[in-house]
Structure 1
């Protein structure tokens, strides 16, 4: 099991969930949540990373706006979540991610970033601006930043049924970041990894997770 720690960042202090493996770590991963805040799902993501041998640290980014804020994954929560991330801004999102990475790096670990939706764009920016290996899941805000050169290995996951990310946008990722791994899951929608809430897709989530673990195993060794 993990536990809570206070993370001090240029934008303010936030709580962060830290999970560690039983044995020698294989590296460390900063987990960046989506627009609903640090839901229990992301604590489980950290635990799964720890079970796979990685230290995982998930900041509660929304603490900078409203401490402890978590939103329902419905339309009301979506609308409020968009307001919150727009108020927070990607620059502060990246500053919090960098502070988390620096904290983990002090222990001598190589750092990666794993982000979902809004967090997937934070992960992309952590790659292009902080040179950290990154995995970005179904991030709708990536296109304006795809011309930024990658600073480290990069992986993208998309659901083919995700209306806000049509095939042309997925192809843009391939064109602008040709060195990156880009995976599309035929029967999956947006947020296909967020169990147990719909539109969770077990098969797509499992395959994407295996690929993600393989990515961090290779690039954080």
Structure 2
């Protein structure tokens, strides 16, 4: 279901919520550049089915409310334009608002995809709200690779990702030796999205299994 959050600066935004209200573990799920669309709701529901209380904030509400895009070239362009209107600081406020809406007294994690993968990294390095963080193909992580994570982090990249060169991944590994970094040789950008041509089912399943084990370990 959809709910409304209020960030620390007074901004109101929508969020998709799923999973048991009395869950022992909770997650903030961070969108790609396509909004809280059917794919992000499916991702949220998949974690909810594992027993997590999850919330997926609509970061684009800062620019335009209710955005749900597909994956055609025009959607990619529009998504990039919308993302440009949301500052890193604003996105951080919104994920913190989402974290605050999760059940009190439980450990909270954060997982993000594409743009959301970078936002999840910022959540780990620029706040103390999370006990674990996972990023899938976050293109902006390399630019912030020297930041210090305040919780355990796991990252996933596709070796054939045209937008994230392996030199960036190598730089992240060198700067963050304590971060778990996985590279999937046959995967490109967005390999975890079943609606994209770049979807690689075997790698998506493997990355999801690793993500679930990581959260089970660090969120208890």
TM-score where L is the length of structure 2 = 0.94
- After the TM superposition, which residues 115-194 of structure 1 pair with which residues of structure 2 at under 5 Å, given as runs? 115-131=112-128, 132=130, 133-194=132-193
What number of residue pairs does the alignment pair up?
Answer: 217
Kept after mapping to 2: 8 A contact 1:124/1:134: yes
RMSD (Å) for aligned C-alpha atoms:
1.3
Deviates more, 1:201-210 or 1:63-72: 63-72
Matched residue, 1:209? 208
- After the TM superposition, which residues 1-221 of structure 1 pair with which residues of structure 2 at under 5 Å, given as runs? 3-9=1-7, 10=9, 12-21=11-20, 25-105=23-103, 107-131=104-128, 132=130, 133-221=132-220
TM-score where L is the length of structure 1 = 0.94
Distance (Å, rounded) in 1 between the aligned partners of 2:167 and 2:10: 35
Shift of 1:11: 5.5
Kept after mapping to 2: 8 A contact 1:21/1:52: no
Structure 1 runs not aligned, ≥5 long: none
- CA deviations on 1:161-198 (whole Å, 9 max, x unpaired) are 10111111111111111100000111111000111321
Kept after mapping to 2: 8 A contact 1:11/1:95: no
